[in-house]
Amino acid sequence: MISKVSPHFLFSVDLEDVRDMVPNGMMYTPKVPELTKKYLDFLKEKKSFATFFVVGSLARKYPDLIKLIRDEGHELGCHSDKHLPVSTQNQEDFRSDLEANINALKKAGVNNIYGYRAPTFSLTEEVSWVYPILEEFNLTYSSSVLPARNPLFGWPGFGDLPKKVGAITEVPITLSGTSILNVPFAGGVYLRALPYPLIDYFFKKAIRRTAVTSYIHPYDIDTEQEPFMHPYINDNKFYNFLLYYNRKNALSRISKLVKKFELNIIPYKQYIDSL
């Protein structure tokens, strides 16, 4: 008899402070520790472990928060030191930024670091020199590619399944949809803004093929954040409206999906080891 294995759900938090990326950001209320604890409580309630990709500057600011995430059994990985898209860096800049990111995590007490996520999924074919550098730092996987054409970044043709690039396993962000709308539906603004039945349908399509990857930020559940223009959206007011939309239901939507599809939330490292 074949035993039923729950599909894997790679729920991950991109741990960054959006205030660091907007003009005069420090005038807004600091919320990262409080919001991160909400994610930790959510995961504890689900008896699950996830991956937190952490920006180095945040690890330096909140070392106790990093230790708390570690002590609760979650995986911590890199999300760059200053949250600059890879395309704005040359190889030397990238190398020193990654080194600073790793040192910040180590200083906060994280000893086992395996994974990398590029800011805003900015790992594209043009900057694939990133992979040997990840290898230099003994990382083993990345989840940084959006495998389609995209207004911001994207690597069409990469394919939608995990694959090795040199020694690094790349787990691309899961896309699903239709011929006209193919989006990273299980994370961030899409998860909140698309009608729920559509998310449910996209999820059903994707989970048949592979583990679904999801990414979420502290601000995605911040229902009290002051209004300001978010970074990386070219001052697009409609997109900024969507960035604030339906934050109160982000976690309940994930709960609903986990329950319906009997998903097993696991850290990336555990998934990579199972491949």
Q: Is 97 in the site for Zn ion (CB under 5 A)?
A: no
Residue type, 42: F
For Zn ion, give the closer residue by CB, 14 or 97: 14
Q: Which stretch binds Zn ion (CB under 5 A): 13-21, 30-38, 42-50, 63-71?
A: 13-21
CB of 152 to Zn ion, least distance (A): 12
Query: Which residue reads 């960035």 in tokens?
Result: 243
For Zn ion, give the closer residue by CB, 7 or 231: 231
Query: Which residue reads 């205030």 in tokens?
Result: 19
CB of 18 to Zn ion, least distance (A): 9
Q: Which stretch binds Zn ion (CB under 5 A): 10-18, 94-102, 220-228, 244-252?
A: 10-18
For Zn ion, give the closer residue by CB, 170 or 220: 220
CB of 168 to Zn ion, least distance (A): 19
Single out the residue of 237, 236, 186, 194 nearest to residue 214, CA to CA: 186
Residues 26-65 that bind Zn ion (CB under 5 A): none
Angle between helices 250-260 and 196-207 (to 10 degrees): 40
What are the C-alpha distances in Å from 262 to residues 46, 128, 208, 265? 11, 35, 13, 10
CB of 217 to Zn ion, least distance (A): 7
Q: Which stretch binds Zn ion (CB under 5 A): 12-20, 70-78, 90-98, 175-183?
A: 12-20
Write the DSSP assignment of 8-22 as a string of letters. Answer: EEEEEEEE--GGGGS
What are the C-alpha distances in Å from 204 to residues 141, 192, 209? 26, 17, 9
Residue pair 10/143 in contact (Cβ under 8 Å)? The answer is yes
**Residues in binding contact with Zn ion, number by CB under 5 A:** 3
CB of 25 to Zn ion, least distance (A): 14
CB of 176 to Zn ion, least distance (A): 21
Residue nearest to Zn ion (CB): 14
CB of 83 to Zn ion, least distance (A): 6
Single out the residue of 39, 34, 26, 13 nearest to residue 226, CA to CA: 26
165 forms beta bridges with 168
Rounded to whole angstroms, the Cα distance separating 186 from 209 reads 15
Residues 110-139 that bind Zn ion (CB under 5 A): 119
> Residue 85 has which token pair?
């898209």
Q: Tally the residues of the chain.
A: 275
For Zn ion, give the closer residue by CB, 145 or 207: 145
Identify the residue among 14, 17, 81, 170 touching Zn ion (CB under 5 A). Answer: 14
Q: Which spans of this chain sit near Zn ion (rule: CB under 5 A)?
A: 14, 16, 119
